[in-house]
Amino acid sequence: MKDIGIGVAGTGLGGALLEINRRAESRLQVRALFDPDPQRLHQRYYQGTSLADLAAQYGVPTCLTDYDEMLARPELDVIAVFSPCPLHFAQVSAALRAGKHVIVTKPMAVSLDEARELARLVDETGLKLLVAQSMRWNSMFQAIHELHETGKIGEVTMAEAYYVHDLRRVLDVSPWRYEMPQDFMYGGVCHPVDLLRWMLGEVDEVFCYGVRGKVETRYPADKLDNFLINLKYRSGAIARVMGGFDLVHPPELWGQVFHGVGIGLYGTKASLFNDRIVYDTYPDGPPREEPVVPVGGEVDHAGEIIGFLRHFEECLVNDEKPLVDVRDGAQIVAICSACWESIATGQPVKVTREFDR
């Protein structure tokens, strides 16, 4: 029974959501695609495919070039916003005002003021919003989270995470990233920041440095795109985050973990770095090392997308809170905003607690 209709805005990455139409066990169905340029080639996932061709492949009946027209469609219950980051706030807020539930790819917004307004709108409308922080549905990171939650690592006092990625080939097929341009703090650093927040809880304070990478020549020369961040958590734990998006492709140090995103957790019972965990056996013998086994098998982006779609379906059907709801999304924005303030002032910056429940 396909009785929950979805309209997708942005058919680059958003095109990957169409696979849900082929999943008979899901009640979700993409019923409309929006793109202001219907002839644009959707090269990232469907090279050489127009909007109409993409729709035909997955049985989508409606293609639109007017976003407001999509919002007016009564057969759509959910709007999935997968357009360029600077457009998220306007499209998400319009969808909420039109009475639609929302899935939005990270980042939910690119400023604290935008995050505040979206939190207000969700509270006012009672609608559900999921921020698709896809790493939370990555089967490797789910396995790491389970090891942490079940106490196998012990109390984590130090941690690290990173997103290190040569984005030149990505920019080849998504020129908006240098034309608008994309803010790589909100649109990139949010991945490792959210992973650590999922494990360690809320951030109290950050200190951040930023630098222009000087490898990618299309990105504006006055914009920073590589970052080092120190974080202090309310639990007392400390961590470091590296976000590098303008560099020569680094060695594959992260084993099975997804596309340059990785994590290290250092606790009282064990130390974990991506796909390996070392348990403390002192003084009885040498440390015991084991692989981290992904939950459910394969680690891939397609699996993450189906994972968060099915999760949101359950939230709608059972009236449950999304794993990353509007306040979680706002708190990620708040951390990134504090990082920018730290770069500007050269000082540690407290992260706002206004989104605490």
pLDDT (average), residues 200-229: 97
Q: How far apart are CA 60 and CA 21, in angstroms?
A: 8
State residue 256's pLDDT score: 45
The arrangement of secondary structure in 138-297+332-350, i.e. its CATH architecture, is 2-Layer Sandwich (3.30)
pLDDT (average), residues 351-356: 91
Q: What is the pLDDT of residues 119-141, one digit of tens each?
A: 999 999 999 999 999 999 999 99
Q: Where are the domains of the chain?
A: 4-135+302-324, 138-297+332-350
Residues in the chain: 357
Residue 233: band (very low, low, confident or very high) from pLDDT cuts 50, 70, 90: very high
State residue 296's pLDDT score: 76
- Nearest alpha carbon to residue 291 among 155, 140, 85, 83: 140
Q: Which one has a higher pLDDT value, 17 or 258?
A: 17
214: phi then psi, degrees, rounded to nearest 5: 70, 20
Q: How far apart are CA 188 and CA 244, in angstroms?
A: 9
pLDDT (average), residues 335-349: 98
Neighbours of 38 (CB within 10 A): 16
- Nearest alpha carbon to residue 239 among 163, 160, 162: 160
Q: How far apart are CA 157 and CA 267, in angstroms?
A: 6
Q: Which one has a higher pLDDT value, 42 or 270?
A: 270
Q: Residue 350: what residue type?
A: K
Q: What is the pLDDT of residues 241-298, one digit of tens each?
A: 999 999 998 876 555 456 789 999 999 999 999 999 999 999 998 999 999 998 876 5
State residue 303's pLDDT score: 84
Helix (H) or strand (E) holding 88: helix 88-97
Angle at 243 between CA 240 and CA 244, to 5 degrees: 135
Mean pLDDT of the residues in the chain: 93
State residue 253's pLDDT score: 57
Q: Is the pLDDT of residue 6 over 90?
A: yes
pLDDT (average), residues 158-179: 92
Residue 237: band (very low, low, confident or very high) from pLDDT cuts 50, 70, 90: very high
Domain 4-135+302-324 in CATH 3.40.50.720: yes
State residue 356's pLDDT score: 79
pTM value is: 0.95
Q: Is the pLDDT of residue 186 over 50?
A: yes
Q: Which one has a higher pLDDT value, 17 or 45?
A: 17
pLDDT (average), residues 224-250: 96
Question: In this predicted structure, which of 9-23, 61-75, 138-152 has the lowest mean pLDDT?
Answer: 9-23
207: phi then psi, degrees, rounded to nearest 5: -135, 130
